[in-house]
Amino acid sequence: MKHKELTDQIICLFYNVYNTLGYGFLEKVYENALMLELQKSDVMAVAQSGINVSYEGNIVGQYFADILVGDKVIVEIKAVKNVLREHEAQLLNYLKATDVEVGLLLNFGPTPEIKRKVLYNSLK
């Protein structure tokens, strides 16, 4: 698996946050807590990393990935009852719009959920 060691580390930190905070906070709380865990682990990460969406060479929109880890993994955080296809599509679109090939969808819902997505640049 591409970037397996890094994604395993992120998932471990996700469970640290989940086990400490539990369910019921807003996504921003979990984002901030996960950023603290990444910093404590000396993992390079940027919160709210900008993603430009281009169409025919023109920027037609800008989104913000919750966390970009090491320029290798986009982390999208949710705090919902169930992960929906729309949440997975959001992460896939972030991968399409960037050179990043690996994404994690981390849900701080009633039951913790993790979805790992890979979209190779050769397919974009």
Cα angle value 91/44/87 (rounded, 5°)? 10
Give the residue-averaged pLDDT of 10-32.
98
Beta-bridge mates of residue 77: 106
What is the reported pTM? Answer: 0.93
Q: What's the pLDDT score for residue 90?
A: 95
Residue 11 CB-density burial (10 A; 0-12 exposed, 13-18 middle, 19+ buried): middle
pLDDT over threshold 90, residue 122: no
Kindly report, residue by residue over 31-41, the tens digit of the pLDDT: 999 999 999 99
54 versus 5: the higher-pLDDT residue is: 5
Q: What's the pLDDT score for residue 123?
A: 79
Q: What single-letter DSSP state applies at residue 5?
A: H
CATH class, range 4-123 = alpha beta
Q: What single-letter DSSP state applies at residue 123?
A: G
Q: What's the pLDDT score for residue 76?
A: 98
Q: What's the pLDDT score for residue 64?
A: 95
Cα angle value 48/93/81 (rounded, 5°)? 75
End-to-end CA distance of the chain: 19
Under a CB-based contact definition with an 8 Å cutoff, are residues 95 and 66 in contact?
Answer: no
Q: Which of 112, 103, 92, 105 lies closest to 3, judged by CA?
A: 103
Under a CB-based contact definition with an 8 Å cutoff, are residues 117 and 7 in contact?
Answer: no
Kindly report, residue by residue over 58-117, the tens digit of the pLDDT: 999 999 999 999 999 999 999 999 999 999 999 999 999 999 999 999 999 999 999 999
Q: What's the pLDDT score for residue 124?
A: 74
